[in-house]
A = this chain, B = another copy of it.
Amino acid sequence: MSTINAYIETHKERFLEELFQLISIPSISSDPKHKESMVKTANAVKELLLSSGADSAEVRQTAGNPVVTGEKIVDEKYPTILIYGHYDVQPAEPLELWVSDPFKPEIRDGKIFARGADDDKGQFFIQLKSFEALAKTNNLKCNVKFLIEGEEEIGSPSLPEFCKKNKELLKADIILVSDTTLLGLDKPSITVGLRGITYYDIEVTGPNRDLHSGLFGGAVANPINKLAELINKLIDDKNRITIPGFYDDVLFIDETERNELARAPFDVDAYNKSLGIPIGVGEDGYTTMERTGIRPSLDVCGIWGGFSGDGAKTVLPSKAYAKVSMRLVPNQDPITIDKLFIDYVESIKPKGVQVKVAPLHSGKGYVSPLDSVAYKAASLAMEKSFGIKPVPTRSGGSIPIVSAFEEILGIKTILMGFGLESDAIHSPNENFPLENFYKGLETVPLFYKYFSELMG
């Protein structure tokens, strides 16, 4: 590995420069204003694939944002690794909470600060530059393919169709993804479970115009009060989701497995302190790790209506809105949940207002087997680079496409991420510690080595 590590050492400044250029394009997939940035970023990714050692690379059109593919086929007899990543990012709002411009990456305290610094431009760069180091030093004992999309943050609406149409192009033995977290640099971990997701826009309409809260207050249903009533009915006082049938497909996890998962080091006081919360709040009977790892959840991600300026505008607004997201566990079907949710909202709809529910996107959860070649290779690689054997963990996050890969392409995914929970992905001041970036560059080439050895 020494020539590989020497190559990385020599080029690591350039790697950062290239990453910063990619980050500086605001590829926010949820905002139609950034359409042009999406195309620009896709083209930049294609150029990066070619310059990093791919034999070919293409920007491919979809119904939405383009997908970038590329490959280097070293030998037909070698196993093939398909690298998946995404070049789109979350919106940066609220902008006023950022210390530096979200699209002008800056290094402070040994961390890169920018939207996408971790999720997923920074993490994808670990894969890209590990590949480059292997390719340029002629150490590739695997074929490598790339599939980099631009719609992950909006639920990958175009990718399943793309996969269906390009099964041959994407044929591989394993999909490798860096888009998840480690418990810590001193607590290496591999994500073996992901939650699924559903997401809804809710609109509550009361009167046909904003009303004076004095002249009408008390006689006309207020859509904000009614939205609060509705939201409040979604979770009971044991913090369980109240939608009838919601838990029907949740797999029972026995004590043995719960004990296994509880082995992951976790300090609840440090967790609460780092979040600035007095106490964790979640479903009765489960630990903090279980609440995000093996149990579903429901969060209002946004709410708005009426007057939000300074002072005392006395209005009974016409409309109120909320964005509601649920995280599902493996075996819960988002389509079934959509129906249950919409029916339930209809059944608890407050009097005097209209309620509309629009599903935005969804994805299934995923569980990865611990006895696979890929998991073993990942575990060996991390044990070598971190000096500690990693533990399997279940992430509360969702990468909906991972279960779609299995269904459509028949390929399992290994989630070897190098982020930290403190990286503030999806939040102001997203960051990625340089140490994690370099540790990733040290680990991924080892995965290639062990994977090809174990497959060979």
Contacts and interface: CB of A to CB of B under 8 A. Distances in A.
A303 B255 CA distance: 43
A225 B300 contact: yes
A378 B280 CA distance: 62
B218 A327 contact: yes
B327 A31 contact: no
A132 to B, nearest CB: 29
Interface in A294-322: 295-317, 320-322
A209 B428 contact: yes
B312 A277 contact: no
A138 interface: no
A110 interface: no
A413 interface: no
A31 B212 contact: no
B301 A218 contact: no
A133 to B, nearest CB: 30
A211 to B, nearest CB: 6
Contact of A301 (B32, B206, B315, B354): B315
B301 A303 contact: no
Contact of A213 (B301, B350, B429): B301
Given A216-B396, A281-B351, A395-B215, A197 B300 contact: no
A210 B428 contact: yes
Interface in A271-300: 275-283, 288-289, 291-292, 295-300
B305 A303 contact: yes
Interface string A338-381: 00000000000011111000001100000000000000000000
Given A210-B428, A217-B325, A295-B218, A91 B307 contact: yes
A407 interface: no
A437 interface: no
Contact of A426 (B212, B281, B310, B426): B212
Contacts of A212: 397, 425-427
Contact of A277 (B93, B221, B304, B322): B221
A344 to B, nearest CB: 16
Residue among A292, A298, A428 with most chain B CB within 10 A: A292
Contacts of A276: 207-208
Contacts of A309: 30-31, 91, 93
B217 A312 contact: no
A91 B313 contact: yes
A311 B321 CA distance: 13
A228 interface: yes
Interface string A256-274: 0000000000000000000
Contacts of A93: 307, 309
Interface stretch (A11-19, A68-76, A167-175, A229-237): A229-237
A1 interface: no
A21 B308 CA distance: 29
A270 to B, nearest CB: 14
Given A214-B396, A304-B304, 11 more contacts: A91-B313, A94-B210, A207-B276, A217-B292, A219-B282, A221-B281, A224-B231, A301-B313, A303-B303, A303-B304, A315-B427
